[in-house]
Amino acid sequence: AKVVENQTFGDKVVENAIEIDGYNKVAPTSGEVEITTGTNEITFYYEIIKYPFTVKYYYNNVEDRNAIVEGSAPEGTIITIADKSKDGFKKYAEPADTEIKASQTANVFKVYYGKPEAEIKKSAPEQVNYGENIHYTITVTNSGFLGTTVTVTHPLAGTSYKDGSSTEPVSV
């Protein structure tokens, strides 16, 4: 509250709303009061400044535009990130700091989910002569965004495994 001293009956006092960090003035931002008996006051109103924010969700590095969350909040507010995991996806990265900054553009928070997408390809010659070794290649490719362990079992009828002819199991 501000008190204006040395005023007499009938004086007119004009005041303007002061600046307050984090708040916008609401019109009217100036006022006049004539000094009379009783209470003589001018009241100004303020609204808190809210800054826009966006939370974006990515699945295997592709933005899901249907999952976007937009809003606004005062500076210093900590945004709670909703869990929007989908079947088979696991969260692997999220923002460490979700505090709203006094900025119109800096409040974009990104959350990443991933899942393995393993593909198995097999190749071998169409024919081999009796008693020859079969060179059979199995390739496992993970184009997803999370590692996984894949076990491939593919028996070939009428054959036996030659010790040491395969590489160690790998994670993809």
Write down the pLDDT at residue 150.
79
DSSP state of 99: B
pLDDT band per the 50, 70, 90 thresholds, residue 169 = low
**Which tokens is 44 given?**
């100004």
The better pLDDT of the pair 19, 157 is held by 19
Q: Strand (E) positions, the chain? A: 12-16, 23-26, 30-34, 45-48, 50-59, 62-63, 69-74, 90-93, 108-114, 118-123, 137-142
Residue-wise pLDDT for 4-34, tens only, equals 899 999 999 999 999 999 999 999 999 999 9
* Average pLDDT of the segment spanning 158-165: 76
93-119 tens-digit pLDDT: 999 999 999 888 889 999 999 998 888
Kindly report, residue by residue over 127-148, the tens digit of the pLDDT. 888 888 888 888 888 888 788 8
Read off the pTM.
Answer: 0.67
- Pairing mode of beta strands 12-16, 30-34: antiparallel
Cis ω on the peptide bond leading into residue 28 (within 30° of 0)?
Answer: yes
pLDDT grade, residue 168 (50/70/90)? low
Alpha-carbon gap, residue 16 to 14, rounded angstroms:
7
Given the structure tokens 């996806």, which residue do they identify?
89
